[in-house]
Structure 1
Amino acid sequence: MVYKEKNDTIAAIATPLGEGGIGVIRVSGADSIQMVDKIFLAANKRALADRRSYRAVYGKISDPKTKNIIDEVICILMREPHSYTKENVVEIQCHGGIMPLRKILSLLLEWGARLAEPGEFTKRAFLNGRIDLAQAQAVMDIIKAKTDASLRVATGHLSGYFSSNIRQIRDALLEMIAHYEAAIDFPEEEVDNIDNIQVMERIEELKVKINTMISSAKTGRILNEGLVTAIVGKPNVGKSSLLNRLLHSDRAIVTDVPGTTRDSIEEYVDVDGIPLRIIDTAGIRQTDDEVEKIGVDKARSYIERADLVLALFDGAKAMTAEDTKIIELIRKKNAVVVINKSDLVQNLDESYIRKQCSDSKIIHISTIQEEGIKELVETIKEKVYAGNVVYNEGEFVNNIYQLEALKKAGQHLEDAMKSLDNDIPEDLVVIDLRSAWEKLGDIIGDTVNEDIIDEIFSRFCIGK
């Protein structure tokens, strides 16, 4: 595949704007060292161009036109190909204020650099062969990681665990393709006879590997994006108290007055490594209060779109019409029934809940005594991992692009199996095998087209 070459030098601020100890401007390209030398003067007057790679050089940035000093800085020099982009790279570390960062970047642009596009440094690393597409996407996943588990998924992808599995399947397919094509193109040569039964068995093995990866996609997505979790129940049942226990802080207002939470509160919480986008909804009940009524309607909509529903009931009180309504709403959802106030005498008809929500696990907790919270956390973990092996999260599929490519590759292998089973000519079997090989290549960037490459990197932040 041929990509458009961009040999120009790019520059961008690589740290968040605002006040901080240091800020970093990253410069990459063939002329990056000479370009920085135009505005940088080392303390010992020696130019960056005269220095070896991997050197940190102290000096000052000044405007060549006015001779005004902008800031004291340290320049980190990395010569090609041993840099992030495999190009000449200079990283300028200055004080972390908005003005020095912007002024230094402005000087670089004046002297010929171009402002980097979103994700262009990582895109160059990919195009120059330092990382593959799955690894490139993992860079942003690392930046966005919110828990240890999501970080392990991202670093595993960046380290190449996921790509290695894809390459192993592609290598096996390529071996089959080459054997078939040799037999088709050179029938007079002494090419080993192809045992279609053995080929079908091998294809089945590859399908199992692909299906195993596909089955990890839900877990991978949750660890990457967060599990949308709605806490629902009637007013004053303890929803906000549960949210506070999971957050380990008093985020939500807790009172004995029913209807305190009139709107939904959404927070990210790290539950034993799992990122939960947890929503504390308004209590579901009949009300004449217009504001509260809007909150109740929103609570119902959150139940519909949530990945997981934590349905709270008051164990110390008898079943009410509101409780029955909640049971109806969660009956066909992925839900955990949580019976609160286990420290009090129990009056709730639990048998009715078990009958109506037979697929939902029931957990007893006390938000006051903090009992049952660990069991609830373990139940959430079980639902997230859903039987997937946890020893290497880096092998999980973690975005829709990878998932769709795997599904299409699996379908092409299924078509190849059907062709072999029906004695379809071998050249048609090769078409299906090659299509599967290409779809898997899209995941690591070997066969993907340039428009998709541009679209993927457009989601990155500038400076990365």
Structure 2
Amino acid sequence: MLARHQDPVVAIATAPGRGAVGIVRVSGRGLGGFVEQLLGRKPNPREAHYLPFADKDGQAIDHGLALFFPGPHSYTGEDVLELQAHGGPVVLQLLVARCLELARTALPRLRLAEPGEFTERAFLNNKIDLAQAEAIADLIDASTEAAARSAGRSLSGAFSKEIHTLRDALIHLRMLVEATLDFPEEEIDFLKKADAAGQLERLQLQLARVMQRAQQGALLREGIKVVIAGQPNAGKSSLLNALAGAELAIVTPIAGTTRDKVQQTIQIEGVPLHVIDTAGLRESDDEVEKIGIARAWEEIKAADAVLFLHDLTRWHEPDYAAADARIASALADQLHEQVPVIDVWNKTDAATPEAAAAYATLQPGRVAQVQLSARTGDGLAALRRQLLEMAGWQSAPEGVYIARARHVAALSEVDSHLMESAAQIHSDSPALDLLAEELRLAQNALNSITGEFTSDDLLGVIFSSFCIGK
């Protein structure tokens, strides 16, 4: 534990702005004397006391509730004092200032808390593990109901329990391999007798299930970035408005109306989709439009999925078809092969029956194709299903726990080490020292998720993303 973690800390624990109630939180070891001087009485543990919060001259700053939680039975595992006052920013700042002022004599080294420091102390004092700590931030930041419920499951320990189960099975397998290494003179084949290969296979199957759920949880947390691209007047802005259910982008029959990106986050079955409307892709001499087109390509290259919008009313025009072909070629060059492109044929309400019937043959070999009318909404449901499928969404929200990209990466690392372990264990002459090392590395990757083995640099990155009072 770093030296700064020994300092008592204070901060406003509620969001900036005005509200009915605001909270000032103090955490540290041995707060008893400080609390008694600040409140003018010795509070009973875990009992709300209504009293005046006085300044140095005995004048009331405010009247409110004080709650004292002696450690280790507190959020941080240390002594914690919470002052609940009226939620004006000036009132709360005066209370923080009073705490710092009194601390000069009653609680030396009291300082303002850094972002996430209260939760960091809860982690360091073994009140929660690292995955649960991250779930607190994810619960606060949740943009959908499904994400909030999944973060709640992670906070309750559902994800951590899965990781611990995997770790325990991995430790048992390591024990067998280490025993074989430690006693090579014994004729007993520990690994075969204990069915080590079977244990490893079951561990891999269990890991696959956890990885699938973690990937779904990461989708709930992060969502996907969907960029709408295509020629001018294909209906990109109309499609954004239809998906968002609001008039976000200006829609006119004038080509080049959209000059810059317009972004909106929507949700489909609880999965957040960050949908971006971009400028129409074409050759232009207009300097402003050229900047918008350049920005459109920047967004396209950073997309998780692209909706390539086509105009069914112009599909038979040679110039239009040639321009679409150029865009398709540019998309193939600019995008990673794993980024899906969905061909969306728009304006079915205005297209001829022949055009609407022939749309599926217009881009041969492309699996993801949808026809719709952004104006009437016909076909939007099919597009939403296609987006979820492209995102990899499979699970119902009720069974998913929130996860982060780093969790998915760690689980993928575990999977890689277990695959190497399987190759060794099934070989005719397994190198047991290499097998033992692969299993050790797999366990380290698992431990990094819950924080049993985590660098201080990673902790700094994680907790710095929290708000100050958390």
Determine the C-alpha separation between the residues in 2 that align with 1:5 and 1:22.
30
Query: Judging changes above 3 Å, is the alpha-carbon distance between structure 1 residues 337 and 98 closer, same or farther for their aligned structure 2 residues?
Result: same
Determine the C-alpha separation between the residues in 2 that align with 1:125 and 1:97.
28
Q: What letter matches 2:280 in structure 1?
A: G
Give the Å deviation of 1:422: 4.3
Give the Å deviation of 1:316: 2.5
Determine the C-alpha separation between the residues in 1 that align with 2:216 and 2:69.
38
| 1:114 is the counterpart of 2:111 | yes
Give the alignment's TM-score, normalised by structure 2.
0.87
| 1:70 is the counterpart of 2:43 | no
Question: Contact 2:359–2:371 (CA<8 Å) still a contact in 1?
Answer: no
Q: What letter matches 2:422 in structure 1?
A: M
Query: Judging changes above 3 Å, is the alpha-carbon distance between structure 1 residues 298 and 349 closer, same or farther for their aligned structure 2 residues?
Result: farther
1:24 maps to 23
Give the Å deviation of 1:388: 5.1
1:98 maps to 89
Q: Deviations over 1:258-309 (max 9, x none)?
A: 2211111122222331211111101122222111111112212222221111
| 1:378 is the counterpart of 2:380 | no
Q: Flag structure 2 segments of 5+ consecutive residues without an equivalent.
A: none
SS in 2 for 1:291: helix
Query: Judging changes above 3 Å, is the alpha-carbon distance between structure 1 residues 5 and 15 closer, same or farther for their aligned structure 2 residues?
Result: closer
Question: Contact 2:21–2:86 (CA<8 Å) still a contact in 1?
Answer: yes
Q: 1:124 aligns with which of 121, 125, 131?
A: 121
Query: Judging changes above 3 Å, is the alpha-carbon distance between structure 1 residues 187 and 338 closer, same or farther for their aligned structure 2 residues?
Result: closer
Q: 1:413 aligns with which of 407, 418, 428?
A: 418
Q: What letter matches 1:247 in structure 2?
A: A
Q: 1:265 aligns with which of 250, 262, 267?
A: 262
Q: 1:329-368 to 2 correspondence within 5 Å?
A: 329-330=330-331, 333-346=339-352, 348=355, 351=358, 354=361, 356=363, 358-368=365-375
Give the Å deviation of 1:314: 2.0
Question: Alignment RMSD, CA only?
Answer: 2.8
Determine the C-alpha separation between the residues in 2 that align with 1:352 and 1:345.
10
| 1:84 is the counterpart of 2:89 | no
Determine the C-alpha separation between the residues in 2 that align with 1:314 and 1:209.
47
Q: 1:304 aligns with which of 301, 305, 319?
A: 301
1:52 maps to 45
1:454 maps to 460
Give the Å deviation of 1:391: 4.7
Fraction of identical pairs, as percent? 37
Give the Å deviation of 1:10: 1.4
Q: What letter matches 1:11 in structure 2?
A: V
Determine the C-alpha separation between the residues in 2 that align with 1:277 and 1:258.
25
SS in 1 for 2:243: helix
Question: Contact 2:146–2:397 (CA<8 Å) still a contact in 1?
Answer: no
Question: Contact 1:19–1:97 (CA<8 Å) still a contact in 2?
Answer: yes
Give the Å deviation of 1:103: 1.4
Q: What letter matches 2:304 in structure 1?
A: D
Q: Deviations over 1:2-44 (max 9, x none)?
A: 7768343211111222222222111112234543443335xxx
Q: 1:432 aligns with which of 433, 438, 459?
A: 438
Q: What letter matches 1:31 in structure 2?
A: G
Q: 1:369 aligns with which of 372, 376, 383?
A: 376
| 1:200 is the counterpart of 2:208 | no
More divergent stretch after superposition (273-282 vs 415-424): 415-424
Question: Contact 1:283–1:296 (CA<8 Å) still a contact in 2?
Answer: yes
1:445 maps to 451
Give the alignment's TM-score, normalised by structure 1.
0.88
Determine the C-alpha separation between the residues in 1 that align with 2:89 and 2:375.
47
More divergent stretch after superposition (261-270 vs 360-369): 360-369
Question: Contact 2:116–2:464 (CA<8 Å) still a contact in 1?
Answer: yes
Query: Judging changes above 3 Å, is the alpha-carbon distance between structure 1 residues 441 and 357 closer, same or farther for their aligned structure 2 residues?
Result: farther
Question: Contact 1:231–1:279 (CA<8 Å) still a contact in 2?
Answer: yes
Give the Å deviation of 1:371: 1.7
Determine the C-alpha separation between the residues in 2 that align with 1:458 and 1:138.
14
Q: 2:429 aligns with which of 423, 426, 429?
A: 423
Question: Contact 2:22–2:88 (CA<8 Å) still a contact in 1?
Answer: yes
Question: Contact 2:233–2:253 (CA<8 Å) still a contact in 1?
Answer: yes
Determine the C-alpha separation between the residues in 1 that align with 2:360 and 2:415.
41
Q: 1:387-406 to 2 correspondence within 5 Å?
A: 387=394, 391-394=398-401, 398-406=403-411
Query: Judging changes above 3 Å, is the alpha-carbon distance between structure 1 residues 360 and 190 closer, same or farther for their aligned structure 2 residues?
Result: closer
Q: 2:165 aligns with which of 138, 155, 168?
A: 168
Query: Judging changes above 3 Å, is the alpha-carbon distance between structure 1 residues 274 and 404 closer, same or farther for their aligned structure 2 residues?
Result: closer
Question: Contact 1:60–1:72 (CA<8 Å) still a contact in 2?
Answer: yes
1:144 maps to 141
1:44 maps to none
SS in 1 for 2:96: helix
Determine the C-alpha separation between the residues in 2 that align with 1:72 and 1:273.
42
Give the Å deviation of 1:257: 2.1
SS in 1 for 2:114: coil
Give the Å deviation of 1:327: 3.1
Give the Å deviation of 1:227: 0.9
Q: Flag structure 1 segments of 5+ consecutive residues without an equivalent.
A: 42-46
More divergent stretch after superposition (445-454 vs 242-251): 445-454
